[in-house]
Amino acid sequence: MNTVAAIPQYLHETYWWAYVHPKAVRLFERQWLVNLILWGNFAKLRDAALDSLGDTLPGKTLQVACVYGDFTPRLAARLAPDASLDVVDVLPIQLANLRRKLPAAAPVNLVNRDAADLGFADGSYERVVLFFLLHEVPLDVRKATLAEAMRVLKPGGELVIVDYHRPAAWHPLRAVMRWILRNFEPFAMDLWSHELAEWLPAGASIRKETFYGGLYQKLVVRAAPR
Ligand SMILES: C[S@@+](CC[C@H](N)C(=O)[O-])C[C@H]1O[C@@H](n2cnc3c(N)ncnc32)[C@H](O)[C@@H]1O
């Protein structure tokens, strides 16, 4: 793995406790803890994303940003023979942590890049997945990440996004989630006040589904066919 990407300021300032510090990686790399953070919905949301990507994944798949828990090992297990998975992350410590979770023979390339500047050729991937990245990044990075994800998709390819969403007014966790997100994940409230479609190319074909009283969403965005 070449380490080339500069670490964005918001990761140092806002998320040192979750992703940057070595003790953070040791603390959070527990399936039960990531499941607790998602109120018991980790497996459901993971499988919703994976099922939208497909049962068997031929060609090239791109995951933008590492995820604690078994998301990537499960994704890698769906690769067809001769298929490959690239996983991008801006933090070398996160890529090193992911490497430890993957079987040695898994056809997974770990790439130290910024989601806002992927550096891959246009139209290189059959599918791209963003699992709980967009709520963690400032608006300019979020817009650039979505533009990059769409740029590297092949014509007719699909981008699958799973992330936070504005919960229903009656949701019993609405107030507590507002407090948690405002205090610990300050960019996340954007996803309560905006539709992700606002930051996607005009005319993109989008299928949206919400989960758990609207607290989470999944979007499947299809790139225009050639
Ligand atoms: C996908 S998000 C959160 C996922 C989820 N909360 C979990 O349980 O892991 C966390 C990852 O995003 C990465 N990340 C944040 N900003 C990034 C950027 N601009 N480019 C690439 N990776 C980024 C962090 O380094 C971290 O590994």
Cβ of 71 less than 6 Å from ligand 1: no
* Collapsed DSSP state (helix, strand, coil) of residue 14: helix
- Residue 205's pLDDT band (boundaries 50, 70, 90)? very high
Cα 191 → chain centroid = 14
Q: How far is CA 164 from CA 37, 98, 102, 172, 207, in A?
A: 12, 23, 27, 16, 16
For residues 8 and 6, what is the distance between their CA atoms, to the nearest angstrom? 6
* Averaged pLDDT, 45-51: 98
CA-CA-CA-CA torsion sign (214, 220, 221, 224): negative
Q: What is the pLDDT of residue 2?
A: 59
Whether the predicted pLDDT of 207 surpasses 70:
yes
Q: According to the model, what pLDDT value does residue 226 have?
A: 79
**Cross-sheet strand order for the sheet of 153-164:** 108-112, 84-89, 60-64, 125-131, 153-164, 216-222, 205-211
Query: How high does pLDDT run on average in the chain?
Result: 95
Q: What is the pTM of this model?
A: 0.96
- Residue 203: which pLDDT band, with cuts at 50, 70 and 90? confident
pLDDT (average), residues 52-74: 98
162 in contact with ligand 1, CB cutoff 6 A:
no
pLDDT at residue 211, as a whole number: 98
Tell me which of 3, 9, 10, 19 to substitute to probe ligand 1's pocket, judged by most ligand atoms within 8 Å of the beta carbon: 19
Q: Does pLDDT of 190 surpass 80?
A: yes
Structural tokens at position 102:
């993957």
Does the beta carbon of 94 lie inside 6 Å of ligand 1? yes
Q: Which two tokens stand for residue 211?
A: 């989960």
- Cα 133 to ligand 1 centre (Å): 5
Pocket test for ligand 1, best of 67, 117, 145 (most atoms within 8 A of CB): 67
Backbone angles phi, psi at 202, to 5 degrees: -60, 140
pLDDT at 96 over 80: yes
Which atom in ligand 1 lies closest to the alpha carbon of residue 130? Answer: 1
**Predicted local confidence at residue 77, as pLDDT:** 97
- Per-residue pLDDT tens over the stretch 111-148: 999 999 999 999 999 999 999 999 999 999 999 999 99
What is the band of 26 on the pLDDT scale with cuts at 50, 70, 90? Answer: very high
pLDDT reported for residue 1: 60
